Amino acid sequence: MDYHKITFSTEEPELLLAFIQHLPFDSFEVAEKTLEAYIPAKNDSEEVQNELKELKERLNFSFEQTFIPYKNWNAVWESNFTPIRVKDFCGIRADFHPSFDPPVAHEIHIQPKMAFGTGHHATTWMMIDQMEKLDFNGKKVFDYGCGTGILAILAEKLGANAIDAVDIEPPAVENTLEHLTLNNCTKISTYEGTLEQLENNHYDIILANINRNVILKSLPTLYKQLNKGGSLLISGFIQQDTDLLQNSTQQEGFTVKEVQIRGNWICMVLNKN
């Protein structure tokens, strides 16, 4: 499969990401004043280009497009991948990187590929940071929009008894299955599909690092799925959406326990009392 890399030049790359993440891109790389977005060539439709042109009239950015043959993709991605460290709690690295020094409490091995979810994004960092504060021992966990399985794997390392992980994107699910093997995981069940497949299941902890619109749409089902006294961690939305998410979650019956900010991104910890 061939890809198009679209490089955006902007003063606010994370804000721009919030506006384009619903488009059929496979992965993103955020830098100080640039945003690189990768889309399968077959998905780079006229509709996508028209939406980018319309968005350009509202936001101040420019962009250029580069063709990337698929045969070079993994090599390019691996060469740009750097380990991620979340304090002394968790580290994420590829097998070709050395172990963390000083060591971290939990080390996750990944095979960096095109699928989104290598842990570099601020939302993933915050989700991991908040997971340190929760008791996963013996709990049943749901990783909704699992990406490449990092949060599900960490949940197992933290003592969860059973984890369901679901994602709508086939490349993400395939990469998750690879990562389960790399990390010797035995308690994670992986599904390709949507929330509806697991809507009748119940969980002690739900992890949802997706985006604002999906979270808002899913709140009624997530509330039903979460056991009384359980915790829901949500991220994937920007500061401007904080009031909307707080009001919507409280109306659904959740209690907002904590709000964390990193860059322009937000992570919320919610309880079901």
What are the pLDDT digits (tens) for 40-49?
Answer: 888 899 999 9
- Which residues is 267 bridged to in the sheet? 235, 260
SS3 244: helix
Segment among 49-58, 106-115, 222-231 with least mean pLDDT: 106-115
Sheet containing strand 27-30, strands side by side? 27-30, 34-40, 3-10, 61-68
SS3 107: strand
The answer to whether domain 3-77 has CATH 3.30.70 is yes
Q: Is pLDDT larger for residue 162 or for residue 39?
A: 162
**C-alpha to C-alpha distances, 96 to 70, 77, 111, 115, 239, nearest whole angstrom:** 21, 13, 9, 18, 36
Task: Categorize the per-residue pLDDT at 78 as very low, low, confident or very high, splitting at 50, 70 and 90.
Answer: low
Q: pTM higher than 0.75 for the full model?
A: yes
Please state the CATH superfamily assignment of the domain spanning residues 119-271 in this structure. Vaccinia Virus protein VP39 (3.40.50.150)
Q: Which of 242, 109, 256 is nearest to 185 (CA)?
A: 109
Residue spans in the chain of domains classed CATH 3.30.70: 3-77
What's the pLDDT tens digit per position in 130-142? 999 999 999 999 9
What does the chain come to in residues?
273
Q: Which of 158, 66, 56 is nearest to 107 (CA)?
A: 158
217/221 Cα distance (integer angstroms): 9
Residue spans in the chain of domains classed CATH 3.40.50.150: 119-271
* Residues 234, 215 contacting (CB under 8 angstroms): yes
